[in-house]
């Protein structure tokens, strides 16, 4: 049996979608274990560009079951839209499976997300406004609505009415916005239920059965380590656990089932939304990264903030996830630069930090300590063998493996499926 967790080592948008698409070729199932349609995972195959927010990247491979597991929060309308898109593209989405335990994003979650952000003003998180935070809040409050509730209209209506008793006090009084109508919501959502019913399953059991018969399962993280609600740059995080432990809880498997944990890291780093970002560039180099890397949000279209690779953060991600190998993406984007910098430590308040600072506030005052590498200034997008990369690119990758202590198994040099190099590329020292 083989279970591989693939997750972002940074603040999201590392290229997880394209990486999972590569692994999905040999997988019996690909499982999304947390988050919702705040995620935007892009896959490019020839002329086809697919942007997925809920359905896992395994949809591109006919032999693979895409599973949306219990740790996710699902906006049914968005999921149905994605299923329709998959039908249009002949991707046969009948095989998509959705956990009966996953939580449902309700219209009041979306509304609360938007008005709360507005009220926070300059302290806002910069959420995707998809209702993610409020849906997880209700889950942990134990007042959430699960996918299975949609199939018991009596219970479903009761739960909506109960939820609205509270929300309809909060919405006008606290946020000065209109209350919502329970019957309208119930009608709308029961319509979605009919459409989703054939997809609903006990996904933990489904995964277990595949692993039992020596099958192969890939777990696809959304967001990234530094957006993890427990281990990220709180409160500027998402409301779930993208880290490796989240894959277990969010899909209902135990730690002994896992064989490999792949950390996906861009050759530089980006962040959407607010929050500290020590290596952020506010100059023309940052602008070049954004333009050359196409760093605009898949979900919200927002310009991503960009900066040099941060090895303090990457070493932290290695620690909290126990990565077995790294997949470095977008190395081709660095071909444009004369000099490439990598943060190896931070300096703040007269002190040097080689670990992520314990006190979040310190992160705002951190000056990166950079190590500089000469750029290779050659187009590498057609390279397919590690040996054919320029020597300066080797040095850069070797340094990453050395500093993190994790071997690099794969490097991508373009967004297309075949634009990558694989096969135990760089050993950790
Ligand atoms: P995800 O959220 O981690 O799946 O990443 P996104 O899809 O939001 O953002 C990654 C973007 O980079 C997408 O537009 C990908 O097509 C693109 N991409 C992925 N790998 C590479 C690569 O190696 N080189 C280049 N130039 N683009 C890449
Ligand atoms: P993928 O899976 C990058 C960010 C938002 C915001 C914070 C909280 O494509 O890597 P939320 O809507 O989750 O409550 O927003 O998290 N964020 C992401 N940033 N990539 C993502 O997903 C993200 N999903 C959420 O910008 O800062
Ligand atoms: Mg993304």
User: Which CATH number fits the domain that encloses residue 183?
Assistant: 1.10.300.10
For residue 170, give the 3-state DSSP assignment. Answer: helix
* Residue 52 beta carbon below 6 angstroms from any ligand 1 atom: no
Judgement on whether residues 187 and 212 belong to the same structural domain of the protein: no
Span from the CA of 17 to the centroid of ligand 2 (angstroms): 14
Q: State which ligand 2 atom lies nearest to the alpha carbon of 40.
A: 9
Judgement on whether residues 68 and 107 belong to the same structural domain of the protein: no
Span from the CA of 226 to the centroid of ligand 3 (angstroms): 14
Span from the CA of 272 to the centroid of ligand 1 (angstroms): 14
Closest C-alpha to 177, from 187, 167, 186, 188: 167
Smallest-distance ligand from the CA of 413: 1
Most informative mutation of 7, 41, 128, 226 for ligand 2 (most atoms within 8 A of CB) = 128
* Residue 18 beta carbon below 6 angstroms from any ligand 1 atom: yes
Tell me whether the omega of the peptide bond preceding residue 235 falls within 30 degrees of 0, making it cis.
yes
Domain enclosing residue 175, as ranges = 103-196
Local structure of residue 104 (DSSP, 8 states): E
Pairwise CA distance, residues 305 & 296, whole Å: 9
Judgement on whether residues 177 and 293 belong to the same structural domain of the protein: no
103 catalytic? Reply is no
Tokens found for residue 20: 């999972």
Residue spans of alpha helices (H) in 62-181: 76-88, 107-120, 132-141, 153-175
The residues with which 261 forms a beta bridge, in sequence order, are 5
Chain Cα centroid distance, residue 406: 21
Q: How do strand 73-74 and strand 103-104 relate by DSSP bridges? A: parallel
Name the residue with the closest Cα to ligand 1, atom 21: 415
Three-state SS annotation for 61-91: CCCCEEEECCCEEECHHHHHHHHHHHHHCCC
* Residue 150 beta carbon below 6 angstroms from any ligand 1 atom: no
- Residue-level pLDDT at 1: 61
- 8 Å CB contact between 406 and 425: no
Tokens found for residue 2: 């083989």
Span from the CA of 8 to the centroid of ligand 1 (angstroms): 12
Neighbours of 322 (CB within 10 A): 14
Judgement on whether residues 384 and 275 belong to the same structural domain of the protein: yes
Judgement on whether residues 18 and 162 belong to the same structural domain of the protein: no
Judgement on whether residues 115 and 73 belong to the same structural domain of the protein: no
- Residue-level pLDDT at 424: 63
**Single residue among 260, 278, 302 that ends a domain in this structure:** 260
**Single residue among 240, 260, 280 that ends a domain in this structure:** 260
CATH value at residue 305? 3.90.170.10
Judgement on whether residues 80 and 114 belong to the same structural domain of the protein: no
Smallest-distance ligand from the CA of 38: 2
- Residue-level pLDDT at 426: 80
Burial readout 64-102 (b: 16 or more C-beta within 10 A, e: otherwise)? bbbbbbbbbbbbbbbbeebbebbeeeebebebbbbbbbb
Closest C-alpha to 97, from 57, 66, 64: 66
How many independent structural domains does the chain possess?
3
Smallest-distance ligand from the CA of 221: 2
- 8 Å CB contact between 315 and 346: no
- Residue-level pLDDT at 429: 53
Tokens found for residue 228: 């993890």
* Residue 353 beta carbon below 6 angstroms from any ligand 1 atom: no
Catalytic pick among 21, 41, 199, 310: 41
Pairwise CA distance, residues 178 & 362, whole Å: 40
**Single residue among 260, 275, 296 that ends a domain in this structure:** 260
- Residue-level pLDDT at 223: 98
pTM of the model: 0.97
Q: Which long-range contacts (CB under 8 A, 24 or more apart) does 148-154 make?
A: 148/100, 148/101, 148/200, 149/104, 150/76, 150/104, 150/189, 150/190, 150/192, 150/193, 150/196, 151/193, 151/197, 151/200, 153/186, 153/190
Judgement on whether residues 328 and 276 belong to the same structural domain of the protein: yes
Name the residue with the closest Cα to ligand 1, atom 14: 42
- Predicted confidence (pLDDT) per residue in 333-379, tens digit: 999 999 999 999 999 989 999 999 989 889 999 999 999 999 999 99
Judgement on whether residues 191 and 214 belong to the same structural domain of the protein: no
Judgement on whether residues 421 and 317 belong to the same structural domain of the protein: yes
Residues 6 or more apart in contact with residue 374 via CB below 8 angstroms: 338, 339, 340, 392
Residue spans of alpha helices (H) in 302-383: 311-321
Neighbours of 213 (CB within 10 A): 9
Name the residue with the closest Cα to ligand 1, atom 9: 13
- Residue-level pLDDT at 45: 87
* Residue 228 beta carbon below 6 angstroms from any ligand 1 atom: no
> Which residues in the chain come in under a pLDDT of 50?
none
Judgement on whether residues 28 and 12 belong to the same structural domain of the protein: yes
Judgement on whether residues 166 and 18 belong to the same structural domain of the protein: no
Q: How do strand 260-266 and strand 29-32 relate by DSSP bridges? A: unpaired
CATH value at residue 205? 3.40.440.10
Most informative mutation of 6, 34, 40, 127 for ligand 2 (most atoms within 8 A of CB) = 127
């Amino acid at each position: 049996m083989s279970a591989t967790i693939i997750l972002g080592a940074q603040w999201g948008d590392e290229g997880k979608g394209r990486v999972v698409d590569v692994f999905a070729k040999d997988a019996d199932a690909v499982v999304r274990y947390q988050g919702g349609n705040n995620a935007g995972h892009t896959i490019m195959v020839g002329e086809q560009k697919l942007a997925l927010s809920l359905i896992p990247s395994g949809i591109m491979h006919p032999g693979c079951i895409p599973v949306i597991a219990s740790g996710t929060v699902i906006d049914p309308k968005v999921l149905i839209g994605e299923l329709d898109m998959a039908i249009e593209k002949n991707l046969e989405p009948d095989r998509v499976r959705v956990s009966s335990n996953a939580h449902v994003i309700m219209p009041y979650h979306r509304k609360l997300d938007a008005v709360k952000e507005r009220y926070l003003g300059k302290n806002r998180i910069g959420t995707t406004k998809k209702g993610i935070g409020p849906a997880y809040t209700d889950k942990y409050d134990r007042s959430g609505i699960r996918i299975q509730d949609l199939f018991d209209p009596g219970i479903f209506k009761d739960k909506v009415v109960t939820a609205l008793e509270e929300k309809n006090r909060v919405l006008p009084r606290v946020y000065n916005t209109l209350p919502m109508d329970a019957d309208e919501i119930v009608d709308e959502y029961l319509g979605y239920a009919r459409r989703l019913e054939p997809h609903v399953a006990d996904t933990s059991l489904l995964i277990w059965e595949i692993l039992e018969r020596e099958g192969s399962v890939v777990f696809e993280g959304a967001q990234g380590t530094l957006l993890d609600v427990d281990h990220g740059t709180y409160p500027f995080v998402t409301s779930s656990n993208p880290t490796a432990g989240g894959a277990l809880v969010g899909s209902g498997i135990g730690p002994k089932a896992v064989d490999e944990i792949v950390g996906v890291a861009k050759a530089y780093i980006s962040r959407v939304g607010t929050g500290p970002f020590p290596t952020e560039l506010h100059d023309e180099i940052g602008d070049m990264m954004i333009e050359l890397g196409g760093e605009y949000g898949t979900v919200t279209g927002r310009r991503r903030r960009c900066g040099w690779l941060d090895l303090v953060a990457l070493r932290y991600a290695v620690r909290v996830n126990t990565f077995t190998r790294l997949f470095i993406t977008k190395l081709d984007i660095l071909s444009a630069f004369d000099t490439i910098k990598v943060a190896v430590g931070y300096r703040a308040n007269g002190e040097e930090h080689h670990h992520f600072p314990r006190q979040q506030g310190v992160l705002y005052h951190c000056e990166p300590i950079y190590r500089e590498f000469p750029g290779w200034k050659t187009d590498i997008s057609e390279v397919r063998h590690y040996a054919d990369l320029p020597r300066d690119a080797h040095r850069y990758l070797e340094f990453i493996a050395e500093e993190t202590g994790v071997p690099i198994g794969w490097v991508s040099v373009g967004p297309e499926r075949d634009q990558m190099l694989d096969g135990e590329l760089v050993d950790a020292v």
